[in-house]
Amino acid sequence: EPMVPAHRSLMSLDPLKADQYDDIRYYAPQNYALTQAPIGNIRPMVEWEPMTALFMAVPTYLTGDNYDNARNTIVQIAANSATVAEVWLLIEDSAGETNMTNLMLNAGVSQEVIDTKVKFLNKPFDSVWTIDFGPIPIIDMDTDTYALADFRYYRERALDDGVPTILGRSLMEIDQPSNTDTYRMPVNSEGDTFMATSDGYCFTGSGQLYWMSFDQGAPDDTIMSTLTMEELQTHPLAEEVRAVWNQYMGCKDTIITHSITDDGTLHLDMYFKVVSDDTVVVGEYVAPFEGEAEVNKARMDETAAFLASYQKEDGTGFNVKRLIIPGHRSSNAGPTPFTYANSTIINGLNLWPAYTFPDWEESRALAESQWQDAMPDHEHIWIDSEELAFWSGAIHCITRTIPAKTPGPWVGDGECSEEDTCTAPENGYTGACSPNGLTDQVCYGPEWLCTCNDCESGCTYEPGQSP
């Protein structure tokens, strides 16, 4: 099978009135219907806190003979993560499970570690880009438990879009003490463009606002061209993001950074990393410049300066570290930007992407020293990520870490009444027991705001209209 890129396709941006992806969502509304926001004293997960597991979706075709470099990246992530945490692998079929087991054994992971620390979950999905479609764990600070928040993902990757709820309802299948709830947000986004601190300061890029403007039918090109950092903070779409993320993830403020202009995803993690409550890493372009590098140097410098002067409500701010951007490599689609920033932090390890190109040895060594300066208490392990980079991603893009907290649930399961509606605990789902012809009852999870993933549509879609 061909690899699908991390970035959006035109189909995502110009949806048809009805297609097979709408059918998938219609027949499984329990995985897509928008829900009310969580009730409680919540905060977003941060990447450096203690983790139970690293979660990856691994398509079977990536465990076979094609995509050797991408396969090795996946195996090295799993092998390193298994030294400090569990590894949860979302797998399509038994062939993928067998292949991954053999690949990990060949990489030096013992059978005992695989038996005790690697958990396979067989559920449907579309792609490898786990952090984009996967959940964002959120923490209830009063109970020290976690639930999951969920963005709306690309419409043509409907199976991916359903994974957060499916994972939350499947935790006991992988030996967790309970399942947990998933809160589905009324905003289109990807997990790669969200980061946070434990005191509730969240970050995204101007690309998030740009895609939102595109989704609304009137692309606002000024977002990616002329707006200053100060102007980005007060853009109406920034205010919309800020309000939703405050409700669903406990963000006190959401800071909009400049996205780089020549990356197809426009994702935050291609140039940025939050490494502690008071330290952030911002990409840095150095001469000689090629393509749009000089433009992006100015964007990153302005971002760094803005963050260095930002004041939290308690009067503290951010220490800004810089990380070299290595440059571009040529592909059939033109020059592709690569990054050293797209790393995954897990229990004292920083797994960061790098490349074996001889002309980048110097920048790779510099990046390693910069990572060590930014995170002196972590072990920094670079993993060759060349093939994923040509598909607009790297290590952070294909992983999601799960905090070392007890999973909820925050809302207890309900029961189906004689009237075929769910009776539920406070804030629980009270709709039809089996909506849209489902054979199973869905009396669980938080109350729905409507029966589909876009309440403004009126949820009037009728299935079977796909061409």
pLDDT per position as a tens digit, 163-174:
999 999 999 999
Out of 47-56, 80-89, 209-218, 395-404, pick the least confident: 209-218
Amino acid 237: pLDDT: 98
pLDDT at 217: 83
Look at residue 56 in the predicted model and tell me its pLDDT. 98
Mean pLDDT of 209-230: 94
pLDDT mean across residues, the chain: 95
- The pLDDT of residue 8 is above 90: no
What would the 3-class secondary structure string for the chain be?
CCCCCCCCCHHHHCCCCCCHHHHHHHCCHHHCCCECCCCCCEEECCCCCCEEEEEEEECHHHHCCCCHHHHHHHHHHHHHHCCCCEEEEEECCHHHHHHHHHHHHHCCCCHHHHHHHEEEEECCCCCCCHHHHCCEEEEECCCCEEEEEEEECCCCCHHHHCHHHHHHCCHHHHCCCCCCCEEEEEEECCHHHCEECCCCEEEEEHHHHHHHHHHCCCCCHHHHCCCCHHHHHCCHHHHHHHHHHHHHHCCCEEEEECCCCCCCCCCHHHCEEEEECCEEEEEECCCCCCCCHHHHHHHHHHHHHHHHHCCCCCCCCCEEEEEECCEEEEECCEEEEECCCCCEEECCEEEEEECCCHHHHHHHHHHHHHHHHHCCCCEEEEEECHHHHHCCCCCHHHCEEEECCEECCCCCCCEECCCCEEECCCCECCCECCHHHCCCCCCCCECECCCCCCHHHCCCCCCCCCC
Q: What is the pTM of this model?
A: 0.96
Q: What is the pLDDT of residue 263?
A: 93
pLDDT in tens, 57-111: 999 999 999 999 999 999 999 999 999 999 999 999 999 999 999 999 999 999 9
Percent of the chain clearing pLDDT 70 (strictly above): 97
For residue range 276-326, what is the model confidence (pLDDT) as tens digits? 999 999 999 999 898 899 999 999 999 999 999 999 999 999 999 999 999
User: Would you state the pLDDT for residue 462?
Assistant: 87
pLDDT at residue 467, as a whole number:
45
- Tens of pLDDT, residues 145-201: 999 999 999 989 999 999 999 999 999 999 999 999 999 999 999 999 999 999 999
- Please write the tens of the pLDDT for every residue from 370-422: 999 999 999 999 999 999 999 999 999 999 999 999 999 999 999 999 999 99
